[in-house]
């Protein structure tokens, strides 16, 4: 059976080092806020070239802490793509703010600059005090950050990059983590850099944002433990997860190369077969961590039937995401940008994600491509 994500092979490579790290934590006993947290933060700071890194309890909490750091208030508006995981949007109304849903580009799957402009119009139409743009590096590749940062600057907005899926990627040579005012990521186990539980981090070069987020992740702690400056939460990462990530970070660059090789092989085999699908395309001057390898099927294809047939051939697949967020119960009363989110609706119906991990062999990739090709003909 081909694995959709292969964490087992990776674990075998680092198992003894992880065990040693965990043993050290069992010896020193600082399960929370142990020295591993600072060690990881320093390493991530170097990796992303970001001045401040705060490790925290999950990618969702990283988004929440980022919004707290940015000082988001009830009633304020934030542009969020509708084609993303729930977390990107859910943290906004959790703080009483308003997500305004915008569309994505059909080929990069990421927030489109045109739609951002429509979203700005929509906020004016609804009389919403727009404060920021949330970019999401969906399936791994970064958004068009130069253009987005420019629009943000011209409209006095901040940019929060939800890089839960895109840590390790670059845009014009700049690493994700240093492309927006604040970046939030997830270390959920299946992410390209994942721990063995929940974890996340925020990245910023802004001291004030970092300090507020730091305080907020410790219940709003002030100058000592039981003095509170603000409302906060328990947003800590535990020492064992940090230790695991330190070992995983050591092999991350080599795994990124393998992921890139796998994606190139997929593209080559599908292209040679001339399969009737849209292959993922990178925007110019960017690299992707290939968190997912997602293709777009022709509209005539019955996707569920195809998935069933592929499953019988031991090829697992996934649909990210079947229903746009703006159509889901908790979000359907929030505004959408002026010219609608047609690409999101199209992609939700037609995308399919294929097995993707650093240890996929060319033989497995060829087997997957050939089966999809045959089933489409
Ligand atoms: C785009 C996006 N944002 C946020 C998250 C939330 O991360 P976590 O599951 O660590 O809370 C995820 C996780 O899947 C994600 O894909």
The pLDDT tens digits of the residues spanning 218-261 come to: 999 998 889 999 999 999 999 999 999 999 999 999 999 999 99
pLDDT at 90: 98
pLDDT score at 338: 82
The model's pLDDT over 274-309, given as tens digits with 9 standing for 90+, comes to: 999 999 999 999 999 999 999 999 999 999 999 999
Sole residue written with tokens 């995401």: 321
CA 87 – ligand 1 centroid, Å = 6
Nearest-angstrom CA–CA distance, 203 and 219: 19
pLDDT-derived band at 1 (thresholds 50, 70, 90) equals confident
User: Mind giving me the DSSP string for 15-42?
Assistant: HHHHHHHHHHHHHH---BS-HHHHHHHH
CATH number at residue 162: 3.40.640.10
| C-beta of residue 134 within 8 angstroms of C-beta of residue 343 | no
Rounding to the nearest 10 degrees, give the CA dihedral for residues 122, 124, 129, 132: 50
Phi, psi of 141 (to 5 degrees): -85, 145
pTM, two decimals, is: 0.98
Report which protein residue has its CA nearest ligand 1's atom 13: 164
For residue 195 and ligand 1, the question of a CB distance below 6 A is answered with no
Find the domain containing 284 and state its range: 252-376
Position 339 scores a pLDDT of: 87
Cα distance between residue 314 and residue 371, in whole Å: 11
| Start-to-end Cα distance in the chain | 24
Q: How many domains would you assign to the chain?
A: 2
Q: What mean pLDDT do residues 320-326 have? A: 97
Does residue 349 lie within any of the structural domains? yes
Nearest alpha-carbon partner for 200 in 56, 88, 86: 56
Q: Is the pLDDT of residue 371 over 90?
A: yes
CATH assignment of the domain containing 345: 3.90.1150.10
Q: Does 2 map to a domain?
A: no
Out of 186, 195, 198, 344, give the residue to mutate to test ligand 1, the one with the largest number of ligand atoms within 8 Å of its CB: 186
Q: Which atom of ligand 1 is nearest to the CA of 62?
A: 11
pLDDT classification of 317: cutoffs 50, 70, 90: very high
Indicate whether 192 belongs to any domain.
yes
| Judgement on whether residues 152 and 215 belong to the same structural domain of the protein | yes
Question: What is the spatial distance between Cα 205 and Cα 186, in angstroms, rounded to a whole number?
Answer: 19
C-alpha 368/C-alpha 263 separation (Å) is 13
pLDDT of 138 above 90: yes
Report pLDDT for 218.
97
Asked if residue 229 is part of any domain, the answer here is: yes
């Amino acid at each position: 059976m081909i694995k959709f994500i292969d964490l087992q092979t990776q674990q075998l490579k680092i198992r003894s080092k992880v065990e040693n790290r965990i043993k050290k934590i069992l010896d020193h006993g600082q399960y929370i806020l142990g020295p591993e947290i600072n060690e990881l933060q320093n390493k991530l700071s170097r990796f992303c070239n970001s001045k401040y890194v705060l490790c925290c309890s999950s990618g969702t909490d990283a988004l929440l802490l980022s919004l707290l750091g940015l000082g988001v208030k009830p009633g304020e508006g934030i542009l969020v793509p509708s084609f993303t995981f729930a977390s990107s949007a859910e943290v906004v109304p959790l703080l009483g703010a308003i997500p305004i849903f915008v569309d994505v580009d059909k080929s990069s799957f990421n927030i489109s600059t045109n739609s951002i402009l429509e979203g700005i119009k929509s906020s004016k139409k609804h009389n919403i005090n727009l404060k920021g743009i949330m970019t999401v590096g969906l399936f791994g590749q970064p958004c068009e950050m130069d253009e987005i940062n420019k629009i943000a600057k011209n409209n006095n907005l901040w940019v929060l990059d939800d890089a839960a899926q895109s840590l390790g990627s670059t845009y014009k040579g700049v690493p994700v983590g240093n492309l927006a005012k604040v970046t939030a990521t997830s270390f959920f186990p299946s992410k390209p850099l994942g721990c063995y539980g929940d974890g996340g981090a925020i990245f910023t070069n802004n001291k004030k944002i970092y300090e507020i987020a730091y305080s907020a992740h410790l219940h709003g702690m002030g100058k000592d433990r039981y003095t509170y400056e603000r409302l906060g939460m328990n947003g800590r990462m535990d020492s064992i997860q940090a230790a695991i990530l330190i070992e995983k970070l050591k092999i991350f660059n080599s795994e990124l190369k393998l992921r890139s090789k796998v994606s190139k092989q997929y593209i080559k085999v599908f292209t040679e077969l001339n399969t009737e699908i849209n292959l993922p395309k990178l925007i110019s001057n960017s690299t992707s961590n290939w968190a997912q390898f997602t293709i777009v099927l022709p509209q005539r294809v019955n996707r569920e039937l195809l998935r069933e047939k592929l499953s019988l051939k031991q090829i697992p697949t996934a649909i990210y995401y079947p229903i746009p967020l703006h159509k889901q119960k908790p979000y359907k009363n929030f505004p959408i940008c002026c010219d609608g989110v047609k690409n999101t609706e199209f992609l939700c119906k037609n995308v399919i994600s294929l097995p993707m991990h650093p240890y996929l062999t060319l033989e497995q990739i060829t087997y997957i491509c050939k089966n999809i090709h045959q089933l489409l003909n």
